[in-house]
């Protein structure tokens, strides 16, 4: 007899419906064959399913079992198909009578029949809902995550036997409620608060501007001046994610298998700080089965590259395209997979190998050529994509010992949220979400200067030798600074502040 069960594969971040067809025939050589481009993990499912059926009190059929995973031209990876294959075998072997034509079934089985956590559940259940399936049977551990998807009933399955008993109507499993869908995204309060950071007011202000307009930012300064501390405080002033953003981010973590078991929905903006030894596949994604890299894990949040010059220059080069496109595309023989990568890049570096170049107190021990070589490690095109360049000097003792609390992150976040609101209204019906995303046409439309502003710009372009890109950068920043102040018009003071964030080339 032939049975059909719906399951799902994940390609990139998207689900693809897979039909698991199982045929059990009494003639022919006994055994089980699996066809439809299965990889090694799928092949091994034969052994897991056989043991799981036996250990759940069922009988593995004596005859010949043929399992086909359709469509046949898509490679199938991972152990996701264990549970649907198991159910398919029981149906085809007439040990179970049930209608599963409206159901998605996914999950890895252990030898004793327990259904294990499976990555990518949210992508799979979303697809099932899109295709109009009414029910989804998913591993118990992943059910809360699955229940975030609207329009489909989700059943948490602990064991193969539980699912069988549910399908026969013997012991029905209670469907998940959708309570998690209503949780608000929020900032959970890890990382430093702005009020704990002494001095460095101009850096905090730079971070505020960066957060308000989603501008990329780089900090340079001597060791111990607080660069890492400041960067880690950035999430505390970012606006909370919308529920749609939270779902986007959760999908990425789910596919990477990085969703913590007790966190069905990622509510806090990601902050990723990959180490400088990270390979470029680790950074932008890759692999035979393309998986999202750090830049996608930081989607809608912050990608922090600490000690920037220590990163391999080839690795940094591969960041250029995704930073521009806000998306990573990975080409494979079977087609191109793309992952979202809309991040705020924050980088930190010392000005020279010893770290004290330009420091008023401690003398720099580096040769002039070494300083230049160090700074040259970061390519111009990458720096060009960074709008805000900040110097983080050592702080004076008086400031460090000052006990008065600084402004709290929550207050700064309030201003940032207001500025984002202005931008949301401005770019109501386009791809652009923030000022940093503006293209030349939008800059021309929304970042107009008055006469005085024009004059200041003219002088700056001439005296500071600003490039066309540099000019646009100052305009975008001026727009953000005006938005932070609640001004529709960009004033001269806004342009003047924006000019302070321009790159300082080492003039050693």
Please give the residue ranges that form the binding site for Mg ion (CB under 5 A): 228
User: Taking the complex as a whole, how short is the minimal distance between the CB of residue 392 and ligand ATP, in angstroms?
Assistant: 6
Distance in Å from the first CA to the final CA of the chain: 81
The least distance separating ligand ATP from the CB of residue 230, rounded to whole angstroms, comes to 7
Select from Mg ion, ligand ATP, none the partner in contact with residue 198, using the beta carbon and a kind-dependent cut-off of 5 to 8 Å: ligand ATP
Which region, judged by CB under 6 A, interacts with ligand ATP, from 13-21, 82-90, 195-203, 362-370?
Answer: 195-203
Q: Among residues 352 and 481, whose Cβ is nearest to ligand ATP?
A: 352
Minimal distance in Å, beta carbon 194 to ligand ATP?
A: 10
Q: How far apart are CA 373 and CA 351, in angstroms?
A: 11
Q: Could you give the 3-state DSSP secondary structure of residue 429?
A: coil
Where in 114-234 does DSSP place strands (E)?
A: 115-116, 135-139, 153-157, 217-220
x/- map, 155-194, ligand ATP, by CB under 6 A: ----------------------------------------
Distances, alpha carbon 276 to alpha carbons 302, 310, 316, 346, 425, in Å: 16, 6, 10, 14, 38
Using CB atoms within 10 Å of the CB of residue 278, give its burial: 0 to 12 exposed, 13 to 18 middle, 19+ buried.
Answer: middle
Number of residues that bind ligand ATP (CB under 6 A): 15
Least CB distance from residue 348 to ligand ATP, whole Å? Answer: 6
The item of ligand ATP, Mg ion, none sharing an interface with residue 223, based on CB under 5 to 8 Å by kind, is ligand ATP
Chosen residue from 200, 254, 434, 435 binding ligand ATP by CB under 6 A: 200
Instruction: Pick between residue 118 and residue 350 the one whose CB is nearest to ligand ATP.
Output: 350
Q: Which of 45, 250, 350, 423 binds ligand ATP (CB under 6 A)?
A: 350
Q: Is the dihedral of CA 74, 79, 85, 87 positive or negative?
A: negative
Interaction residues for ligand ATP, span 219-248 (CB under 6 A): 221, 223-229
DSSP character for 102? T
Q: Which residues sit opposite 4 in a β-bridge?
A: 21
| Pair of tokens at residue 298 | 């930081």
Determine how many CB atoms are found less than 10 A away from the CB of residue 329. 16
Minimal distance in Å, beta carbon 365 to ligand ATP?
15
Nearer to ligand ATP, 68 or 350 (CB): 350
CB of 108 to ligand ATP, least distance (A): 41
Q: Which spans in 277-395 are helix H? A: 280-284, 294-297, 313-317, 320-325, 368-376, 380-384
Tell me whether residue 198 or residue 267 sits nearer to ligand ATP (CB atom).
198
CB atoms within 10 A of CB 182: 7
**Closer CB to Mg ion, 227 or 420, in the complex:** 227
Instruction: Extract the tokens encoding 182.
Output: 């209503």
Q: Give me the least distance between CB of 268 and ligand ATP, in Å please.
A: 21
Shortest separation between residue 508's beta carbon and ligand ATP, angstroms: 19
Nearest residue to ligand ATP, scored by beta-carbon proximity:
226
For residues 131 and 106, the answer to whether their CB atoms sit within 8 Å is no
d(CA 355, CA 219): 13
The distance of closest approach from Cβ of residue 405 to ligand ATP in the complex, given in angstroms and rounded to an integer, is: 12
Cβ proximity to ligand ATP: between 31 and 223 the closer is 223
Q: Which is nearer to ligand ATP, 3 or 197 (CB)?
A: 197
**What are residue 76's phi and psi, to 5 degrees?**
-110, 130
Q: Does 199 engage in binding with ligand ATP (CB under 6 A)? A: yes
Would you call 99 helix, strand, or coil by DSSP?
A: coil
Of 387, 378, 384, the C-alpha closest to 211 is 387
Give the count of beta carbons closer than 10 Å to the beta carbon of residue 473.
Answer: 25
Q: Does 57 bind ligand ATP (CB under 6 A)?
A: no
> If binding is defined by CB under 6 A, does position 395 make contact with ligand ATP?
yes
Q: Which residues in this chain contact ligand ATP in the complex, by CB under 6 A? A: 197-200, 221, 223-229, 350, 355, 395
């Amino acid at each position: 007899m032939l049975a059909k069960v719906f399951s799902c594969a994940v390609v990139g971040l998207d689900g693809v419906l897979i039909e698991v067809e199982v045929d059990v025939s009494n003639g022919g050589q006994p055994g089980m064959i699996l066809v439809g481009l299965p990889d090694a993990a799928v092949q091994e499912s034969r052994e897991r399913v056989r043991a799981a059926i036996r250990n759940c009190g069922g009988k593995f059929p004596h005859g010949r079992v043929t399992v086909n995973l359709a469509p046949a031209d898509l490679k199938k990876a991972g152990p996701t198909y264990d549970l649907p294959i198991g159910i398919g075998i029981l149906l085809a072997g007439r040990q179970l009578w049930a209608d599963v034509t409206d159901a998605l079934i996914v999950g890895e089985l252990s030898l004793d029949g327990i259904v294990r956590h499976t990555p990518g559940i949210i992508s799979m259940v979303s697809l099932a809902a899109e295709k109009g399936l009414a029910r989804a049977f998913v591993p118990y551990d992943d059910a809360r995550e699955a229940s975030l998807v609207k329009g489909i009933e989700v059943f948490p399955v602990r064991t193969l036997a539980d699912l069988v008993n549910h399908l026969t109507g013997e012991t029905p499993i209670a469907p998940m409620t959708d309570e998690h869908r209503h949780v608000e995204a929020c900032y959970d309060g890890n990382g430093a608060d702005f009020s704990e950071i002494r001095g460095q007011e101009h850096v905090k202000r730079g971070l505020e501007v960066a957060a308000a307009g989603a501008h990329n930012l780089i900090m340079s300064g001597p060791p111990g001046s607080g660069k890492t501390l400041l960067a880690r405080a950035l999430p505390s002033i970012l606006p909370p994610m919308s529920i749609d953003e939270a779902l986007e981010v959760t999908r990425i973590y789910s596919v990477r298998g990085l969703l913590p078991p007790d966190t069905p929905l990622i509510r806090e903006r990601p902050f990723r700080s990959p180490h400088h030894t990270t390979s470029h596949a680790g950074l932008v994604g890759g692999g035979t089965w393309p998986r999202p890299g750090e830049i996608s894990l930081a989607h809608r949040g912050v990608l922090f590259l600490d000690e920037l010059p220590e990163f391999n220059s080839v690795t940094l080069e591969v960041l250029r395209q995704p930073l521009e496109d806000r998306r990573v595309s990975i080409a494979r023989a079977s087609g191109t997979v793309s992952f979202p990568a809309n991040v705020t890049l924050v980088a930190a570096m010392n000005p020279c190998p010893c770290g004290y170049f330009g420091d008023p107190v401690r003398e720099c021990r580096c040769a002039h050529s070494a300083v230049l070589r160090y700074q040259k490690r970061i390519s111009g095109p990458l720096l060009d994509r960074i709008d805000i360049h900040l110097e983080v000097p050592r702080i004076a003792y008086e400031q460090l010992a000052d006990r008065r609390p600084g402004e709290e992150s929550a207050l700064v976040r309030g201003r940032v949220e207001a500025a984002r609101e202005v931008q949301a209204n401005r770019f109501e019906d386009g791809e652009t979400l923030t000022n940093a995303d503006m293209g030349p046409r939008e800059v021309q439309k929304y970042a107009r200067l008055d006469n005085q502003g024009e004059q200041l710009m003219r002088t700056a372009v001439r005296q500071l030798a600003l490039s066309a890109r540099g000019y646009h950068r100052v305009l975008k920043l001026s727009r953000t600074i005006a938005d932070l102040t609640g001004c529709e018009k960009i004033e001269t003071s806004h342009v003047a502040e924006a000019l302070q964030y321009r790159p300082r080339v080492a003039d050693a």
